[in-house]
Amino acid sequence: MDEIFGIPIPLLFGQLLLGLINGAFYAMLSLGLAIIFGLLNIINFTHGAQFMMGAFVAWMLLSLGSADAARIGLALLLLPLVVLLLDWLWLKLRLAQPIRLGLGVFVSAAWIAACFLENGGPVARALGAMFPNGLSYWWALLIGPIVVGASGVLLERLMIAQLYKLDHLYGLLLTFGVGLIIEGIFRNEFGSSGLPYRIPPELSGAWDLGFMFMPVYRGWVVLAALILCLATWLVIEKTRLGAYLRAATERAELVQAFGINVPLMITLTYGAGVALAAVGGVLAAPIYSVNPQMGVNLIIVVFAVVVIGGMGSILGSILVGFGLGVVEGLTKVFWPEASATVIFVIMAIVLLTRPAGLFGRA
């Protein structure tokens, strides 16, 4: 059999492919981070928790009919979306800011209190009654990003927006803390060993490629990640909205002077970045065990990807995400013990030689 450095070539091909699949996750997550950093100058350390929330929403949707925890959890996660929609309604009704705030607090308090009633309260019971068989993976792909994105929008409005005047470090500390709190809450509710989530029947099975057995689902992940990355890149680089966004990054005051609602744009950008993390979470749910720590391990690597690609560079994070996935895959063959470290070695080298990252502007 043909070999390279003592490794059979078919095995090597398999590893390259697997690396590409893991790279798809890195690319998707680092893309969201890059967008948020590029436009908001916020280093979003909550990203891992938001990725995890995406996976949990997928599990909750599927288990609506069978698990109390799923019903109650989803009812609570729907709260940010409900508050945002109501707030939008109140804005249309021209209610004054303090009244909107008061109403929002009241609705939230009532909603949360209702979820702690017996049997999860009216919302949870209604969810269970409406969907006794749960909602499938495909619904999760749609609903997950919306629900988690809405929580991101609320987080940006209520907390992160207060920090734009200050140094980056404050945003980093805030988002890091919020991430730890979210993970802690999920750990207390769901434990650490994770929840079962099966591959959707449409995507189960595998192709025999000769040199390896390629699960259909992993192929789908790569495809979905490529589509998402490409679409995001096109929106930001080739559309009018993207032009506004890029302009707002350079000179927010000037863009605002042209009559564009920059704060709204920033909020929605953060929401979109978070939604991307949630999509990643839903895609990851059938492969990795759905557990509260699933974002922790990934997020550190993803930060390295963003740093290597150049903070805020979208193309950089996509290419480096896939590239590092492949490098990591190869390390797993040649020196498995170092596979968790290799990315950081590369990061150190890149920072020493090109401090702005491979695709960043100094």
Partner 1 sequence: MTIDRRRLLAGAAAVPLLGALPMRRARAQAASTIKLGVLNDASGHYRDIAGPGSLACVRQAIQDFGSRGFTVETVFADHQNRPDVGVNIARQWYDQDGVDVIIDVTTSSVALAVNGVTREKNKVFLGSTPATSDLTGAQCSPNGIQFTYDTYMLAKSTGGAMVKAGGDSWFFITADYAFGHALERDTGNFVRAAGGRVLGQVRTPFPGTTDFSSFLLQAQASRAKVIGMANAGADTINTIKQAAEFGITRRGIKLAALLMFISDVHALGLNTAQGLVCTESFYWDLNERTRALTARVLPNMPQGLRPGMGQAGCYAAALHYLKAAADMGVAQAKADGRAAVARMKAMPTDDDAFGPGSIRADGRKIHPSFLFEVKTPAESRGAWDYYKLLQTTPAEEAFRPVAEGGCPLVRS
196 lies in the binding site for partner 1 (CB under 8 A): yes
Residue count, binding to partner 1 (CB under 8 A): 45
Nearest CA-CA partner of 51 in 272, 320, 279 = 279
Q: Is the dihedral of CA 97, 245, 271, 141 positive or negative?
A: positive
287 lies in the binding site for partner 1 (CB under 8 A): yes
Binding region for partner 1 (CB under 8 A) out of 120-128, 150-158, 192-200, 349-357: 192-200
Nearest CA-CA partner of 29 in 14, 10, 45 = 45
Nearest CA-CA partner of 34 in 223, 310, 300, 325 = 310
Given candidates 333, 346, 347, 350, which one binds partner 1 under the rule CB under 8 A? 333
195 lies in the binding site for partner 1 (CB under 8 A): yes
Binding region for partner 1 (CB under 8 A) out of 6-14, 98-106, 241-249, 304-312: 6-14
Helix (H, G, I), strand (E, B) or coil at 185: helix
316 lies in the binding site for partner 1 (CB under 8 A): no
Shortest spacing between CB 288 and partner 1, in angstroms: 5
- For partner 1, the closer of residues 298 and 320 by Cβ is 298
CA atoms of 242 and 314, how far apart (whole Å): 12
- For partner 1, the closer of residues 41 and 339 by Cβ is 339
Q: Which helix (H) or strand (E) holds 120?
A: none
CA atoms of 148 and 271, how far apart (whole Å): 8
Torsion over CA of 28, 33, 34 and 39, rounded to 10 degrees?
Answer: 130
Alpha-carbon 182 to chain mean position: 14
Binding region for partner 1 (CB under 8 A) out of 105-113, 135-143, 188-196, 267-275: 188-196
215 lies in the binding site for partner 1 (CB under 8 A): yes
15 lies in the binding site for partner 1 (CB under 8 A): yes
Shortest spacing between CB 206 and partner 1, in angstroms: 5
213 phi and psi, to 5 degrees? -100, 115
290 phi and psi, to 5 degrees? -75, 95
List of residues contacting partner 1 (CB under 8 A): 8, 10-11, 14-15, 18-19, 21-22, 184, 187-196, 198-199, 206, 212-213, 215, 217-218, 287-289, 291, 293-294, 297-298, 329, 332-333, 336-341
